[in-house]
Amino acid sequence: MIMNINLQKTAGRYVLLLALGLGLAAGSSAFGQAPEAGLSLRAAAEEALKNNPGLAAAQSRERAAEKNISMAESAYYPRVDFEEIFTNSNDPVYVFGTLLRQGEFSARHFDPNFLNNPSARNNFNHRFSVQQLLYDGGKRERQKSMAATGKEISSQRVRMTEQQVLFGVIQDFYRVVLADAALKTAEESLAGIAAGLKRTRDRYEAGMAVKADVLRMEVQKADFERLRMAAQNECRQARQALERDLGREPSGTIQVSGRMRESLPENSSERDWLDLAEKQRPDLQQASMAIQLAAEKLRSTRGAYLPTLGAMANYDFHNGTDAGFGNNYLVGVRLQWNLFDGGARSAAVRQAAEEKQAAEYERRQALQQTRLEISGAQDRRRVAQQQYRVAQQAAEAAEEGLRIMENRHAEGLATTTDLLSVQVSRHQARLNILQALYQYTMEYAAMELAAGNISLQSPLFVG
């Protein structure tokens, strides 16, 4: 007899683990597709990295920021312009100068009547001009350095967006797995209560139960039906969220294939995660680069106290008639040195210094936030792992308790109320084990995200 009971308990535990395994396997949803037909977590992540619109936007901004470097480098080259100007006037000075430029001035134009009352004259001016900055107090160097730093900041934004996309895929992929498993649990609980309701009705018709027992079973069946419908809705919502991550149109029909991990690497301490975050977490890298950018801006602002030196050259063609045509050139060097600006430069320097100080404070704050996130994720992961173990034991006990109670109820040795209580407990125990496993998986992903280490090489995507 004792051996028989032990065999029954062992068989019950095996059935429980098998049911949970099937429930956690993606594709075991109400849509009825085989697991092999679904999308794996890694395949989903690879698709998201190719098609996620948020990531594509970040990559476009990175390419745009790269062009700032070319724009900054252009300041080292001369600027060449061409102008085409048409003018018409009877202003005496204008007419006199235009005649000279067009090469048509002659002795007859010294007539006082002509000089004082000339006829209007046309002038077509074709001008080529060249300007070359020779010295600007280091502003060009600072602008180029700032553009390069800005490009690196954009690159870190892309890395951060990639990691957030991967985290979102993990979250929504396993949300689908969890929703499918919860739906399977609801359907099994509904089937169990339906069987219990049939037995109760049979007993009522045989005069071995009261009407109240049947009504209580019907109420509980309706409640499990409500849970099943809620689980079906969550299956659809979870799929739409995953489809959005992948850059697809949300239809709620995507099928996945995979299961949550019951154990993940534990060989890194909290200190190791913190050290890793300081080296490679994208927003911390951005914060460091923001300090560098602010320092470059401060140096560039101080350069405003220095003079600028540039060279220029113009070549002009002038004509107003078919016969008249003239050309001339101009070359020169220009030195500009502002001596007084009402304190604008000193204010700009102080502003840049404060911005650099603010960037340093912001990095310190970001580092503190990183430590909190890693510490919190580490604690929550340990708790979730412990909850999973406890939930496993509770689920095994609930399965065995329900088996015993169903036998006693069938023999008339237990009340309907007792049976309902155990059925509800079994249902909740199964949900608890699923939720704990989901939480454990997500806290590990949160740890990797907090450390800036989440990628396709993560244990979550490998194995």
Mapping DSSP onto H, E and C, the string for 82-120 reads EEEEEEEECCHHHHHHHHHHHCCCCHHHHCHHHHHCCCC
Cα maximum dimension of the chain: 139
Band of residue 70 on the pLDDT scale cut at 50, 70, 90 = very high
* Backbone dihedral angles phi then psi of residue 435, each to the nearest 5 degrees: -65, -40
Distance CA(360)–CA(156), nearest Å, equals 18
Q: What is the dihedral of CA 164, 166, 168, 169, to 10 degrees?
A: 170
What integer is the mean pLDDT of 435-445?
Answer: 90
Nearest to residue 391, comparing CAs of 417, 444, 427, 443?
A: 427
Taken as a whole, the chain contains a residue count of: 463
Residue 401 has pLDDT above 90, yes or no: no
Give the pLDDT band of residue 13 (cuts 50, 70, 90). Answer: very low
Please choose, from the candidates 185, 234, 252, 247, the residue with its C-alpha nearest in 3D space to the C-alpha of residue 430. Answer: 185
Which residues 6+ apart lie within 8 Å of 28 measured at CB?
Answer: 22, 35, 180, 181, 184
Q: What is the pLDDT of residues 190-220, one digit of tens each?
A: 888 888 888 888 878 888 778 888 888 888 8
Query: Which pTM was predicted?
Result: 0.78
User: Which range among 28-32, 47-51, 158-162, 210-214 shows the weakest confidence by mean pLDDT?
Assistant: 28-32
How far apart are alpha carbons 440 and 377 in whole angstroms?
10
Amino acid sitting at position 260: M
CA distance 298 to 345: 11
Lowest mean pLDDT among 28-32, 79-83, 121-125, 226-230: 28-32
Model pLDDT, residue 22: 41
Tell me which CATH code domain 17-73+145-300+350-450 carries.
Answer: 1.20.1600.10
* CA-closest candidate to residue 120, choices 352, 321, 383: 321
| Spatial separation of the C-alpha atoms in residues 253 and 232, rounded to whole Å | 12
Q: Which residue has the higher pLDDT, 408 or 42?
A: 42
Can you give the residue ranges of every domain in the chain?
A: 17-73+145-300+350-450
CA–CA separation, 171 and 179 (whole Å): 12
Percent of the chain predicted with pLDDT > 90 = 48
Q: What is the average pLDDT across 334-351?
A: 92
CB-CB contact of 187 with 228 (8 Å): yes
* 40-54, 89-103, 170-184, 199-213: range with lowest mean pLDDT: 199-213
Rounded Cα–Cα distance for residues 28 and 37 (Å):
11
